[in-house]
Structure 1
Amino acid sequence: MLIEKLHVDEVDIDTNLVAEMVAGQFPQWAGLPVKPVFPAGTDNVMFRLGGRLAVRLPRTPAAALSLEKELKYPPKLRLWLPAPIPHPLESGTPTQWYPFRWSVSTWLEGWNPRTVTSADTFTLDMARFIRALHAIAPPDATEELTQYRGGAVAARELETRTAISRCGEHFDTDALTRAWDIALEAPEGNVPHTWIHTDLHPGNLLTLQGRLSGVLDWGGLAVGDPAVDLIVAWNLLGGEARRRFRAELNVERGMWERGRAWALSIGLVALPYYEYSNPVLAEVSKYQIRQVLEDIG
């Protein structure tokens, strides 16, 4: 089965050939069933390998570079984090049909969470996870660990304005423009840069029995402004859950407003891009845009 593509520069990924690749490079796992995971990721395609393993293949050249970071840094961070993250076990090499490195990692049990509006245990788990990640001493921000989501949100001005014009089918573009103008007024502040995940949205989170059971997709890992990791307050949380989340993290006004600006920009850019190719992510984008609009008032 050929996996449906999301990007113009995406390579072909076929389930049967993935099974052959696993058997050829890692014979200890030959014969284990290989099943694609849905909903599919935007940067990587993931397959379940047997019952306890996952195969992860980058879709594009940019995602392939991000995988290199996933293999290098998260294994060092996992010991300090209060919830599981995938643990890479093996790194596969390119083949005649697939041009990038790929990985086999541990499988984490759980389901992508739905909107959380009450201050439950999951809300507190999210706050504690983010606090723990931001507390780990980061290295100097090398080029490898410098990510566009770790800098100033104002750098997204052009792509955000462009996206606003493409969201008119779902939102009042005048209201979106006013919200973005307000978002740009968020003070930059002097918060020390930390480790940041940069993409904490429901598709990268797992929940099991009401707890945070896993945080996935570390390809965007960087050292930068920790405000970007607050986007979960708008793409997943709402109402009392958002208020409790902020209180638990003790977030000051400037950082909170920068996090809200990131949530708005990311939602606006993602909605028209994924509206037809990834309806699940498009719905998340609509939710976070609505939440920001309500928050700004």
Structure 2
Amino acid sequence: MPMHDDQIDVTAETVAALVREQFPQWAGQEVRALPSAGTVNAIFRIGDGLAARFPLRRADPAAARSDLERESRASAELAQISPFPVPEPVALGEPGPGYPLPWLVQTWLPGTIATDADPSSSEAFADDLATFIHALRQADTAGRHFNGSGRGGILTDHDEWMETCFQRSEPFLDVPPLRRLWSRLRALPRTSPDVMTHGDLIPGNVLVSQNRLVGVLDTGGFAPADPALDLVAAWHLLERTPRQLLRKALNSDDLEWERGRAWAFEQAMGLVWYYGETNPPMARLGRQTLARLLAPDA
């Protein structure tokens, strides 16, 4: 079952044909689809050193190209300052037979996503996450500010979305305590200037080995935003003790920490009802994060 009403199906055979036509230097490389709980792109390996990302949802090709070019610039910029490996853009593919949009080729990183190798109890992993987030916060914004309608701006801008989530979640979740939590979190003020952020530190975007961080994926959202935005990792990825170690390492005060909770809550509320049938791992992440957010020791 497709995750989105406007989803594009793409196969390894289609990708292999596009690679042969547009990038003959890789024509002899094996192309294989990767199983993934990702919601934005289908991912294919090209040989041992490359990966191709194919946007899943239909869009205007010119707008899709602009988005991929922006993501490529952001990924290349993050690669210059990240203390951990991140994918780097290699080439931009064109629409072709079987696929109507531009697509991106980038370097492949070894490791296991945190969805499959749960590091949530590892204090060393929490310390690695803090190192990564700190490095992003120290990066130069070059005068840029948050620009968009997604997470990382003004909490109350998400009231309409949250109301939709509360209504759609009634068959699946105990909604009244969730409404009460949002009523408190949405009113938190903002006192800190924008910093550079990853923007989506969820288990599927984090690579681990032996309970250590060994790579970070989906870096095209590297951009200025609320410093609390990357704190979503505290609830998406960590149990209580490592979570508190992350907070201490980043020296997060009460306001910043609670705003991080707010962004994690805003993200998690959309996962259970939207992906319940089409992407069970994402729905499970939503439930797990909500349970952590509602715990008295969160």
Match of 1:149 in 2: 151
Residues 231 and 260, structure 1, Cα contact 8 Å, conserved in 2? yes
The alignment's TM-score, normalised by the length of structure 1, stands at 0.91
Query: How many angstroms apart in 2 are the aligned matches of 1:187 and 1:296?
Result: 22
Structure 2 residue corresponding to 1:7, chosen from 4, 15, 22? 4
Residues 152 and 225, structure 2, Cα contact 8 Å, conserved in 1? yes
Q: Secondary structure at the match of 1:178?
A: helix
Q: Does 1:123 align with 2:120?
A: no
How far is the alpha carbon of 1:278 from its aligned partner? 0.7
1:234-253 equivalence runs, <5 A: 234-253=235-254
Match of 2:177 in 1: 175
Query: How many angstroms apart in 2 are the aligned matches of 1:67 and 1:142?
Result: 20
1:259-270 equivalence runs, <5 A: 259-270=260-271
Do the aligned partners of residues 81 and 34 (structure 1) sit closer, same or farther apart at CA in structure 2, a change above 3 Å counting? same
Identify which range, 32-41 or 278-287, moves more after superposition: 32-41
Identify which range, 16-25 or 29-38, moves more after superposition: 29-38
What is the total number of aligned residue pairs between the two structures? 292
Residues 109 and 208, structure 1, Cα contact 8 Å, conserved in 2? no
Which amino acid counterpart does residue 202 of structure 1 have in structure 2?
P
Query: How many angstroms apart in 1 are the aligned matches of 2:270 and 2:23?
Result: 39
Residues 58 and 64, structure 1, Cα contact 8 Å, conserved in 2? no
Q: Secondary structure at the match of 1:165?
A: helix
Do the aligned partners of residues 267 and 109 (structure 1) sit closer, same or farther apart at CA in structure 2, a change above 3 Å counting? same
How far is the alpha carbon of 1:150 from its aligned partner? 2.1
Which amino acid counterpart does residue 101 of structure 1 have in structure 2?
P
Residues 74 and 221, structure 2, Cα contact 8 Å, conserved in 1? no
What value does the CA root-mean-square deviation take over the aligned residues?
A: 2.0
Residues 115 and 238, structure 1, Cα contact 8 Å, conserved in 2? no
1:76-155 equivalence runs, <5 A: 76-113=77-114, 114-141=117-144, 146=148, 148-155=150-157
1:1-297 equivalence runs, <5 A: 5-60=2-57, 61=59, 65-113=66-114, 114-141=117-144, 146=148, 148-189=150-191, 191-295=192-296
How far is the alpha carbon of 1:128 from its aligned partner? 0.6
How far is the alpha carbon of 1:96 from its aligned partner? 3.8
Do the aligned partners of residues 128 and 25 (structure 1) sit closer, same or farther apart at CA in structure 2, a change above 3 Å counting? same
How far is the alpha carbon of 1:252 from its aligned partner? 1.3
- Give the share of equivalent positions with the same residue, in percent: 37
Gaps of 5+ in 1: none
Query: How many angstroms apart in 2 are the aligned matches of 1:157 and 1:63?
Result: 28
Which amino acid counterpart does residue 75 of structure 2 have in structure 1?
P
Query: How many angstroms apart in 2 are the aligned matches of 1:57 and 1:30?
Result: 18
Do the aligned partners of residues 15 and 173 (structure 1) sit closer, same or farther apart at CA in structure 2, a change above 3 Å counting? same
Do the aligned partners of residues 116 and 96 (structure 1) sit closer, same or farther apart at CA in structure 2, a change above 3 Å counting? closer
Q: Secondary structure at the match of 2:255?
A: helix
Which amino acid counterpart does residue 72 of structure 1 have in structure 2?
R
How far is the alpha carbon of 1:296 from its aligned partner? 7.3
How far is the alpha carbon of 1:260 from its aligned partner? 0.2
How far is the alpha carbon of 1:209 from its aligned partner? 2.6
Residues 134 and 250, structure 2, Cα contact 8 Å, conserved in 1? yes
The alignment's TM-score, normalised by the length of structure 2, stands at 0.91
Do the aligned partners of residues 116 and 285 (structure 1) sit closer, same or farther apart at CA in structure 2, a change above 3 Å counting? same
Which amino acid counterpart does residue 214 of structure 1 have in structure 2?
G
Do the aligned partners of residues 66 and 237 (structure 1) sit closer, same or farther apart at CA in structure 2, a change above 3 Å counting? farther
Cα shift readout 1:83-102 (whole Å, capped 9, x = no counterpart) = 11101111111214322221
Cα shift readout 1:239-291 (whole Å, capped 9, x = no counterpart) = 10100000000011111111101111111112211111110011011111111
Residues 87 and 106, structure 2, Cα contact 8 Å, conserved in 1? yes
Q: Secondary structure at the match of 2:262?
A: helix
How far is the alpha carbon of 1:56 from its aligned partner? 0.9
How far is the alpha carbon of 1:58 from its aligned partner? 1.1
Residues 123 and 245, structure 1, Cα contact 8 Å, conserved in 2? yes
Query: How many angstroms apart in 2 are the aligned matches of 1:279 and 1:117?
Result: 19
